[in-house]
């Protein structure tokens, strides 16, 4: 629901008949949380749909390269998106072939190795910068036209660097690590999180300077994910938090508590805060949180 109905993950679902003994997961382990969450969504539908994400950054997705079946076209996007998630930066995905219509929706655009760009898309990006927008260009972005022909010189390098940062190509490949909690310790690719990624921390510092600060500031660890949006049927501003830190040994999900978590959110223009409420599926009633509004930003703290 926080992603507008498009789930970015895979869920295994309830145990099939005969699996309970092997998995140590009972049907009620699965259905209890699911039922509570579905009820919560139904009770708060006005907060969830229809809605538009609050997005400081537009992260461009190379759909044209995907259609052409190119290799490694998502490597830069995966790495940068992971760092944005870790830093709790509010962003949304925009397809490369949507740039002519949507480039001006975002204060800052991030183009992660978007090699193929049409002339109209390049013009939209340049207009975005000329109108005061920020731009981060990574990898070989703009080195080819829409058909894959080389463009020399790169047309994106013709604008003032004041609001543009050109991120040098780096090793976008993930590390290969063993999963020690699974039999046989199979290997899988793992992208480094901000605490262990010097390049990621440097990039976040560059973005912060480029755009003058992030709309959402929080001391939450990288394992906490967040989204914010405006719903059409309410004046409320939902800010969604989920803690993914958990004990990996038990058969059922066993979260490790985090917090309390401090948050500092830039308010949309002409917004007045009446209250800040904390809600989650297992609680009897909302909890009012203390808050303070200072220079168009609301400060509050989420309980542990």
pLDDT in tens, 90-105: 999 999 999 999 999 9
pLDDT in tens, 191-228: 889 999 999 999 999 999 999 999 999 999 999 999 99
CA distances from 41 to 27, 35, 38, 123, 240 (A): 21, 10, 5, 42, 12
CA distances from 122 to 80, 103, 125, 134, 276 (A): 21, 10, 5, 14, 42
CB atoms within 10 A of CB 87: 22
Which pLDDT band, with edges at 50, 70 and 90, does 67 fall under? very high
Strand 134-138 versus strand 108-112 pairing type: parallel
Structural contact between residues 145 and 186, judged by C-beta atoms closer than 8 angstroms:
no
- Averaged pLDDT of the chain: 90
- State both tokens at 9: 């993950």
What are the two backbone dihedrals, phi and then psi, of residue 263, each rounded to the nearest 5 degrees? Answer: -140, 150
Higher local confidence (pLDDT), 152 or 234: 234
Query: At residue 8, does pLDDT exceed 60?
Result: no
Residue 206's contacts (CB-CB under 8 Å, 6 or more residues apart) are: 136, 165, 167
Compute the distance between CA of residue 207 and CA of residue 265 in angstroms, rounded to an integer: 17
What percentage of the chain exceeds 90 in pLDDT? Answer: 69
Query: At residue 2, does pLDDT exceed 80?
Result: no
Query: At residue 39, does pLDDT exceed 70?
Result: yes
The residue assigned the tokens 């800040």 is 276
pLDDT in tens, 237-265: 999 999 999 998 888 888 999 999 999 99
Complete edge-to-edge strand list for the sheet that includes strand 57-61 = 91-95, 57-61, 108-112, 134-138, 164-167
Predicted TM-score (pTM) of the model is 0.90
Q: Which of 158-172, 177-191, 265-279 has the highest mean pLDDT?
A: 265-279
Question: How buried is 193 (Cβ within 10 angstroms: 0-12 exposed, 13-18 middle, 19+ buried)?
Answer: middle
Listed residue (159, 54, 71) closest to 115, CA to CA: 71
> Can you give the pLDDT at residue 9?
59
- CA Rg value for the chain: 21
* Average pLDDT value for residue range 138-158: 86
């Amino acid at each position: 629901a926080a992603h507008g109905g498009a789930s970015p993950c895979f869920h295994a679902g309830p145990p099939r008949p005969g699996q309970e003994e092997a998995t140590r997961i009972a049907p009620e382990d699965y259905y209890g949380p699911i039922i509570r969450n579905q009820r919560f969504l139904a009770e708060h539908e006005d907060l969830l749909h229809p809605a538009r994400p609050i997005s400081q950054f537009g992260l461009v997705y190379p759909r044209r390269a995907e259609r052409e079946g190119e290799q490694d076209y998502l490597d830069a996007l995966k790495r940068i998106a992971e760092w944005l998630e870790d830093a709790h930066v509010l962003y949304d995905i925009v397809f490369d072939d949507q740039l002519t219509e949507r480039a001006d929706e975002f204060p800052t655009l991030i183009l992660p190795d978007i090699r193929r760009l049409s002339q109209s898309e390049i013009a939209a990006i340049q207009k975005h910068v000329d109108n005061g927008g920020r731009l981060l260009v990574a990898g070989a972005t703009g080195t080819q036209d829409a058909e894959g022909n080389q463009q020399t010189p790169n047309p994106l390098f013709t604008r003032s660097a004041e609001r543009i940062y050109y991120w040098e190509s780096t090793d976008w490949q993930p590390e290969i690590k063993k999963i020690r909690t699974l039999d046989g310790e199979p290997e899988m690719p793992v992208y480094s999180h901000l605490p262990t990624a010097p390049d990621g921390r440097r990039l976040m510092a560059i973005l912060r300077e480029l755009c003058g600060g992030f709309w959402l500031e929080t001391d939450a660890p990288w394992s906490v994910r967040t989204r914010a949006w405006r719903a059409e049927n309410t004046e409320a501003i939902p800010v969604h938090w989920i803690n993914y830190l958990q004990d990996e040994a038990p058969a059922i999900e066993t979260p490790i508590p985090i917090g309390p978590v401090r948050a500092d959110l830039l308010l949309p223009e002409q917004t007045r805060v009446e209250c800040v409420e904390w809600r989650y599926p297992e609680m009897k009633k909302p909890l009012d949180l203390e808050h303070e509004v200072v220079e168009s930003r609301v400060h509050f703290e989420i309980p542990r």
